[in-house]
Amino acid sequence: MLCLDDFYKDGDDPTLPHHNGQVDWDSPHSWDAVTAVETIARLAQDGKAEVPVYAIGADRRVATRVCDVAGSPLFIAEGIFAAEIVGECRRRGLLAGAYALRRPRATTFLRRFARDLAEQRKAPKVLLRRGVALLRAEPAVLRRQTGLGAEAAAAGEILRRVAGMVAGHPHN
């Protein structure tokens, strides 16, 4: 599993997008798509690659780790901006499938809020405000992801398709 959220740009990167005077972390421009694609290409070719470890509370990459997928028939690259690189990965022959998780918005909100609180990612008030904004934006996000080439599907369906790919029976 490759966590694409670790490819966010550092908080002091001058190319970060801003909205209302604050960094817009929900914009795909807050994320390093080029490095993410290059890392996926290295994993596909070499079976391992050095990847960043991003600390959301610090707004920066704090370390690196080796992601080793050698011997695996495929690997999963997941993250909120994964759909942004579907086209490029498809063009390079790196894509077995692209899915956008479709589930009830309230479920997503509650899971995200509980995770962010447990990990102390930001102050609770900030997490709640951001969570509500993301709850409202979720339908538009899903439309954007499908427009970029990801297929919207429920978790169970995605798991069945991935299991089929691993078994050598890709679902088209």
- pLDDT score for 67: 96
Query: Does one domain contain both 85 and 108?
Result: no
Residue with tokens 């088209």: 172
3-state secondary structure of 67: strand
Query: Does one domain contain both 70 and 105?
Result: no
Give percent of the chain above pLDDT 90.
Answer: 69
pLDDT above 70 for 135: yes
- Cα–Cα distance measured from residue 43 to residue 3, given in angstroms and rounded to the nearest whole number: 13
Instruction: Characterize the bridge pairing of strands 99-101 and 77-78.
Output: unpaired
Query: Does one domain contain both 61 and 129?
Result: no
Query: Does one domain contain both 3 and 67?
Result: yes
Of 95, 118, 142, the last residue of a domain is 95
Q: Give pTM, 2 decimals.
A: 0.84
- pLDDT score for 49: 97
Rg over CA atoms, the chain: 17
Tell me how many domains the chain contains.
Answer: 2
pLDDT above 80 for 169: no
Give the length of the chain.
172
Query: Does one domain contain both 31 and 83?
Result: yes
pLDDT above 90 for 116: no
Query: Does one domain contain both 57 and 125?
Result: no
Mean pLDDT of the 105-131 span: 87
Name every residue whose Cβ is closer than 8 Å to that of residue 111 and which is 6 or more positions away in sequence: none
pLDDT above 70 for 152: yes
Name every residue whose Cβ is closer than 8 Å to that of residue 110 and which is 6 or more positions away in sequence: none
pLDDT above 70 for 156: yes
Query: Does one domain contain both 15 and 87?
Result: yes
Quote the domain boundaries for residue 69: 1-95
Mean pLDDT of the 91-102 span: 95
Of 73, 95, 117, the last residue of a domain is 95
Query: Does one domain contain both 148 and 170?
Result: yes
Query: Does one domain contain both 141 and 108?
Result: yes
At residue 87 the predicted structure's pLDDT band, cuts being 50, 70 and 90, is very high
pLDDT above 60 for 170: no
Report how far apart, in Å, the C-alpha atoms of 37 and of each of 1, 29, 31, 56, 89 are.
Answer: 14, 15, 12, 21, 7
Query: Does one domain contain both 81 and 131?
Result: no
Query: Does one domain contain both 4 and 38?
Result: yes
- pLDDT score for 172: 45
Mean pLDDT of the 137-144 span: 92
Query: What's the mean per-residue pLDDT of the chain?
Result: 92
Taking a C-beta distance cutoff of 8 angstroms, is the pair 18, 24 a contact? yes
Query: Does one domain contain both 73 and 148?
Result: no
Of 95, 128, 146, the last residue of a domain is 95
